[in-house]
Structure 1
């Protein structure tokens, strides 16, 4: 499959009852419960008003209406008409109040759940985001929570009220026309059996549908982000076929849902209607025998007409509740994900940060498995092999204010070491220390005000140049002077030629800019943060050699008291570093100035020769970004 974030997954949803799952919503719903409860009472009041009208009609037919035909006294008739009108108006008022009371608080519940989810996503480590497709997270944050809001505002309220209305209605039917009411009640037995079977089938289909929708959203997201690649290689038709295949699977699932729903709805409509058909024949016979009055028979069928609406809604409300159950499951699958890179209970703050970084016996491997079964294992592999260690015991000290270059072949662990310093991942064993203090003893917020990182893959946001560059700057460093200083150090003067200068919105992910321009803005963002330790994970790879040298020289001049750790892929960058650390098979096998390592370290000479070849190739191409 050319463009697919995730193949349709064989997920393992939590095996909990619908009630137990929905009870997990209580912490979010509790502030809104008073208004929801009052709204539910108003809905119940509307139902009771509707049920009271047939009782008035019974009294009207058997009393004032019959009396008016013989005596001509119409006062009782007009009183009954006034009562029916009053009950109708009261029903309308209750319906209005139900909507007024419920709609606003349920939107607040949705807002609270959505912001809680987003905050948790921001808090979760990179390992989580590496394993979860973006479309799945998007569908949980948007579609699932929207579904939950509609269920809280309508589904659960009407489900409870309809059951109460049907119960009271059947009781009134038994009181009014005893045997006919009992017959109608017996018709509920097959409906209960059908409802139980329907809920078991529909729950699985609803979960599959929502998961497939998340997979489809991921495919759209990746296709949009990779549109340049698809166009460049002319793979649009293949991307379309892949998307159409996934969309077809979702359509088939939705059709299956519709078939299940229509079959259930047909049954719960047909059974009561068939029962009422039998009741018509029996009721007329009872009237002819004098065992039932005409008013009672009319009230029975008027009451049946009132409760038939709630009965027919049962299928829709039940399916909505089951879909809400799967939405809650999917929501809490993310919210229950454990943050493995957490803050300590008693954090340490340094009085003064000098910028010494030390790796002590650091070992690291990436997480072995995703948090849930999002991607099925290949059928030809009996089990997933454990991840190999990327770092196998790194010892390295970087002095305050020095520039340390990390050099090694691809896969030697350079980028991993860079990611460990701001604690984007936690070490498997050993420790990373800042000024002698384990970084795990500090809060992540505090640590990341002292350590800034610029990645090779520069990520920008749909915002202005100013907002992107000052994203991580402390409040006191968000002035125009600080902004221009960061842009100057990063050699990003091109921003002044944009349509609105530094206030130009650069668009989603900055794709309106070239790769080199994005990298320079990302570097300016790191500089503007005023870190004590600056980590550069090959952030200038898209620049030509001369521009990279100019940026590096300016960094050394302006940030002379800042500790700089740079993942180097060019000899020109390496030569500007105070010292170089050579990584080989997950270990540091040599540390020293560039010139000394060239003499004493065989593997370093091999790595540098490879870098020289790459640099000469860049020069030959005349790369200009």
Structure 2
């Protein structure tokens, strides 16, 4: 109940219709309990008196009661259908909105299939629970209570016989609920794992086919599917057990009441009509009692689905402005210096450190990093002047991509601060920050949309900006596609080559004419001739933009005014390409592409 009560904020707007539907369902069930009383009247009256007119009148009463019960249940269904589909849609929209606001660290930890199953299967279970079990746990409870009272009033001795199974049934329900809860959670988690495998196999179909791994993938899928099947069978066994108890014990009680009642009718202490009415009431309660098992099962699955839903919704979103540090506290830290020869010891090659993009003793550690592990970045002091381009060079794993992700706050710095034109980025809203900073990642991601829609996600206002961005990125191939820039690129853009996707990603970064540009090795998938053409166009863009460019090749480095060498999570040198090439052996080694031993021989 603690889990399910968390659904109240979503249910509250439609509570009037749900309460009305529940009341109508209770009324319909109570009408069903009137039918045995009409039967009693018919047996003890018209049938005993051999009155055909009375029998026909009783039959009419039964028909009217049956029609009323059916119409009321139909009205209940109509009342709940629209509001509950609205509740499901609202919860799904909230989940999607929340996922967009969660930090990158959350998405790094969570498999996409688990998130997808929460947005689909779990929400479907919640809608079904609100539509049926929630109402009928109440309705059936009231029906059983009213029915038992009617039976005790008619013949209390037979009523006590019917109540004998109540205690073992309740004990069984408590045990079932505890055991079924764990099985339901395990099954829903396994559905998420299975969804992840299917999604990865579809997106990675080229790898699977290219390496002939379809059999191993099929085996992995079969194992997960088998685990899920085993869990579902365990759930079925638990449900079969409780249904066996719930169905068998009341049936035995009804049989005993039938025998005892027949004896009482035979000796004249009970009328035949009363016995018919009593047994009819007991039989009318069979469905409310028999349904307890699967209503509890559906409620447990809904409770588990609610827990899984709010596991995501409870995750802390990205803060709108300030982070855990203050600018004053960050600025007051004693920080290591990198000597760049300008006399100020800040490693930026400039003495003022105000304008442009500035890293002030920046450090970063991943949130889920083990205790005591060294930070990925520490003591980063760097200044990119307004209108300047800085290339960031370092060995694989040195932290280049992590450093670039700190600028648009895809990750939050854990030490120090970053400023744009003198303003701490944590004091800016993410909307403002990301309107000023554009990013092109090493792995270009495109969406199932048109070429134009993919590019204009980076900003821009129309066809003119789109055409200019495509020209800068040398992505004019888009105009030759079947429907030009209105061509759908397909999921992940896999209908395009790697170089084409990368050029569209670059066009997306420059389309909004950003103040600051962060490029993570943006030309890695291009051939030599296309790279040269893109570089020529990109130079014109970089002339008016402050840019941080992750580079691995000399041709990309030469786009920048200066170069910073990142080694061991720290900036160890800053200068021009030629200065570092002459004076820094590590940089010369990275740019030469020679094996380490050969580089040593050359030195």
Same fold per superposition (TM over 0.5)? yes
- Residue 79 of structure 1 and its aligned partner are, at CA, apart by 3.8
Residue 363 of structure 1 is matched in structure 2 by 363
Cα deviation digits, residues 204-256 of structure 1 (max 9, x gap):
11111111111111111111111111111111111111111111111111111
Residue 622 of structure 1 is matched in structure 2 by none
Aligned residue for 2:386, secondary structure, equals: coil
> What CA distance in whole angstroms lies between the structure 2 residues aligned with 1:255 and 1:422?
48
Work out which of the residue numbers 197, 206, 224 in structure 2 matches 1:246: 224
The reply on whether 1:302 has 2:288 as its aligned counterpart is no
Q: Is the 8 A contact 1:570 1:611 kept in 2?
A: no
**1:154-173 map, 5 Å:** 154-173=132-151
Q: Is the 8 A contact 2:161 2:256 kept in 1?
A: no
> What CA distance in whole angstroms lies between the structure 2 residues aligned with 1:217 and 1:386?
35
**TM-score normalized by structure 2?**
0.91
Work out which of the residue numbers 29, 33, 48 in structure 2 matches 1:47: 29
Instruction: Report the count of equivalent residues.
Output: 567
Residue 573 of structure 1 is matched in structure 2 by 556
Q: Is the 8 A contact 1:355 1:532 kept in 2?
A: no
> What CA distance in whole angstroms lies between the structure 2 residues aligned with 1:120 and 1:317?
31
Q: Is the 8 A contact 1:151 1:324 kept in 2?
A: yes
Work out which of the residue numbers 529, 532, 541 in structure 1 matches 2:524: 541
> What CA distance in whole angstroms lies between the structure 1 residues aligned with 2:443 and 2:382?
26
Q: Larger RCO: Structure 1 or Structure 2 (Cα < 8 Å, ≥ 6 residues apart)?
A: 1
The reply on whether 1:451 has 2:437 as its aligned counterpart is yes
Structure 1 unpaired stretches of 5+: 1-18, 349-353, 370-383, 614-625
Work out which of the residue numbers 144, 147, 153 in structure 1 matches 2:122: 144
Work out which of the residue numbers 460, 475, 479 in structure 2 matches 1:492: 475
Work out which of the residue numbers 80, 85, 109 in structure 1 matches 2:58: 80
The reply on whether 1:177 has 2:167 as its aligned counterpart is no
The reply on whether 1:193 has 2:171 as its aligned counterpart is yes
**TM-score normalized by structure 1?**
0.88
The reply on whether 1:38 has 2:20 as its aligned counterpart is yes
Distance 1:491 1:285, change over 3 A: same
**1:297-376 map, 5 Å:** 297-339=275-317, 341-344=319-322, 356-368=356-368
Residue 41 of structure 2 is matched in structure 1 by 59
**1:348-497 map, 5 Å:** 356-368=356-368, 386-473=372-459, 477-497=460-480
Residue 543 of structure 2 is matched in structure 1 by 560
Structure 2 unpaired stretches of 5+: 327-353, 597-603
Work out which of the residue numbers 242, 265, 280 in structure 1 matches 2:258: 280
> What CA distance in whole angstroms lies between the structure 2 residues aligned with 1:344 and 1:41?
50
Aligned residue for 2:285, secondary structure, equals: helix
Q: Is the 8 A contact 1:571 1:612 kept in 2?
A: no
Residue 88 of structure 2 is matched in structure 1 by 110
Distance 1:518 1:277, change over 3 A: same
- Residue 594 of structure 1 and its aligned partner are, at CA, apart by 1.5
> What CA distance in whole angstroms lies between the structure 2 residues aligned with 1:611 and 1:438?
41
Residue 205 of structure 1 is matched in structure 2 by 183
- Residue 551 of structure 1 and its aligned partner are, at CA, apart by 1.2
Residue 337 of structure 2 is matched in structure 1 by none
- Residue 292 of structure 1 and its aligned partner are, at CA, apart by 1.1
Aligned residue for 1:460, secondary structure, equals: coil
> What CA distance in whole angstroms lies between the structure 2 residues aligned with 1:427 and 1:541?
27
Residue 20 of structure 1 is matched in structure 2 by 2
Distance 1:224 1:388, change over 3 A: farther
Cα deviation digits, residues 412-436 of structure 1 (max 9, x gap):
2211111011110000110011111
Residue 593 of structure 2 is matched in structure 1 by 610
Aligned residue for 1:24, secondary structure, equals: helix
Q: Is the 8 A contact 1:394 1:587 kept in 2?
A: yes
